[in-house]
Amino acid sequence: MKYIRELGRILFVAGLLIIFGVFTRPDNSAPVFSTPPVSELPAEINIHPAAQPGIPRSVRVPVLMYHHIGEMPSNPDRYRRDLTVSTADFEAEVKFLYAAGYSCISTQALYQYQQGEVDLAKKPCVIIFDDGFDDAFKNAIPTLLKYRMTGSFAVITQYVANSEYASWPTILGAQTVGMEIVSHSQHHIDFTSRKYSHQDKINEIQGSLKDIQAHLHTAPITFVYPYGHHDLETEAIVAGSGFKMAFTTAPGFYGENKNAYEMPRVRVHGVEGIDRFAESLGITLHK
């Protein structure tokens, strides 16, 4: 009898661990993301500093914009070439950020800082991956984890699992290891096009929020405009839907535009090299 009671306790604990995902093995479409030990980080790079109190709320923060991370497909057009950063180049860029003392955070942390709820690291930055491409999840996250960085993935919720796009299990796996998932609409429509009614725009924005809530059980506070296109009507819908900030494709740093729904970003181009990447952050490597 004692043996049966002990076996029952073991099975009960194992059941809880399975429920909370400790022993759960994701399906084949969901990569396993793991954080390497600190000893595997490059020796010449110092651990970035802890959060420093008293940083002014008007701090300028680079918000980097990526799309594809990985190998170039055969016969890419000029748009795909510009939007694709190789895995090696991406790691070189993240390593540069790390060595320069940057600490990449979520847009949620940026908002909390803006509200005076948290302090930021001395040199914060944000990385947003537009569209929710599968290669961005599978190739960028291991590098981000390696350098103790956070990434924000803006997903087109009705494109999930289509062709080049990540599946919900992959997206959930990313969230589980600390990545942020934000909205990029349901169908990547141009919100300034006359062919979409006011209600169409509401459906796109609020529908994307509902999709994320349904699959991830969390409500993102950040919206990323498809194509970077927006107008006052769109901003009002985004704000009225509960989003706290929205990002465009206009060049610039967070903090340079006081409108929370017109935040600029720094576009990272494919095959641009570290010198150009550094210049986009205002750093000159060679004179």
> Are 155 and 131 spatial neighbours (Cβ–Cβ below 8 Å)?
yes
Look at residue 256 in the predicted model and tell me its pLDDT: 85
> Are 24 and 18 spatial neighbours (Cβ–Cβ below 8 Å)?
yes
Instruction: State how far the Cα of 183 lies from the Cα of 174, in Å rounded to an integer.
Output: 15
Look at residue 115 in the predicted model and tell me its pLDDT: 86
> Are 220 and 202 spatial neighbours (Cβ–Cβ below 8 Å)?
no
Handedness of CA 25, 26, 28, 34 (dihedral sign): negative
Tokens, residue 102? 């940057």
pTM attached to this predicted model? 0.83
Instruction: State how far the Cα of 162 lies from the Cα of 83, in Å rounded to an integer.
Output: 19
Look at residue 286 in the predicted model and tell me its pLDDT: 65
Tokens, residue 37? 């030990």
The DSSP secondary structure of 50-116, one letter per residue, reads PP-TT--TT--B-EEEE-EESPPPSS--HHHHHHEE-HHHHHHHHHHHHHTTEEEE-HHHHHHHHTT
The DSSP secondary structure of 33-60, one letter per residue, reads P-PPPGGGS-TTSPPPPPP-TT--TT--
Choices 3.40.50.1970, 3.20.20.370, 3.40.50.80, 3.20.20.80: CATH for 64-280? 3.20.20.370
**Torsion of the alpha carbons at 137, 20, 103 and 91, rounded to the nearest 10:** -30
Instruction: State how far the Cα of 48 lies from the Cα of 103, in Å rounded to an integer.
Output: 7
Which of 80, 128, 120 has the alpha carbon at shortest distance from 103? 120
Look at residue 20 in the predicted model and tell me its pLDDT: 36
Coil, strand or helix at 131: strand
Look at residue 255 in the predicted model and tell me its pLDDT: 85
In order along its 287 residues, the chain shows pLDDT tens digits of: 544 455 455 444 444 443 334 333 344 456 667 655 444 554 433 333 333 333 445 678 999 999 999 999 899 999 999 999 999 999 999 999 999 999 999 999 999 988 888 888 889 999 999 999 999 999 999 999 999 999 999 999 999 999 999 999 999 999 999 999 999 999 999 999 999 999 999 999 999 999 999 999 999 999 999 999 999 999 999 999 999 999 999 999 998 888 999 999 999 999 888 999 999 998 877 65
Q: Round the CA-based radius of gyration of the chain to a whole number and report it.
A: 20
Cα→Cα distances 197→205, 228, 239, 255, 283, Å: 13, 18, 18, 32, 44
